[in-house]
């Protein structure tokens, strides 16, 4: 992959990373305000606790995604971005466009899914 395309994907990943971190920050701030609007009955308290749990699980998913993005950025830096981790063949750029953190070519990804890994 040429330097221009690598830079394109690097910028795309950095933008995605920033968006996730901003969303996580906003969700965290919102979770602190749940249930602070006065007296609650038990149903409201349970609903607010459930909503806080959902917000925290989203943060876990976001944290995982940030780790994947960071790993992918490392690959760009080391020159291994866009290479399938299974077969060492180039990953189709259309696949990378759809999923910039893709670790496998479509063929290997299907085989891995069929095996249930």
Q: What does the pLDDT look like over 69-109, one tens digit per residue?
A: 999 999 999 999 999 999 999 999 999 999 999 999 999 99
- Percent above pLDDT 90 for the chain: 54
Phi-psi region of 41 (alpha: psi -120 to 50; beta: other; left: phi over 0): beta
CA atoms within 13 A on the CB side of 71: 10
Cα–Cα distance between 56 and 91 in angstroms, integer?
A: 33
pLDDT number for residue 81: 97
Domain 3-115 coded CATH 1.10.3720.10:
no
Q: What does the pLDDT look like over 13-48, one tens digit per residue?
A: 999 988 987 887 776 666 555 555 555 556 655 655
pLDDT number for residue 5: 94
Ordered by start, the domain boundaries in the chain are 3-115
């Amino acid at each position: 992959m040429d330097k221009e395309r690598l830079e394109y994907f690097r910028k795309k990943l950095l933008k995605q990373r920033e968006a996730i971190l901003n969303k996580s920050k906003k969700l965290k701030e919102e979770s602190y305000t749940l249930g602070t609007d006065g007296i609650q009955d038990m149903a409201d308290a349970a609903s607010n606790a459930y909503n806080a749990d959902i917000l925290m699980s989203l943060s876990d998913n976001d944290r995982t995604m940030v780790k994947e993005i960071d790993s992918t950025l490392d690959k760009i830096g080391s020159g291994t971005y866009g290479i399938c981790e299974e077969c060492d063949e180039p990953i189709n750029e259309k696949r990378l466009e759809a999923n910039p953190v893709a670790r496998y070519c479509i063929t290997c990804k299907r085989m891995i899914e069929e095996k249930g890994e």
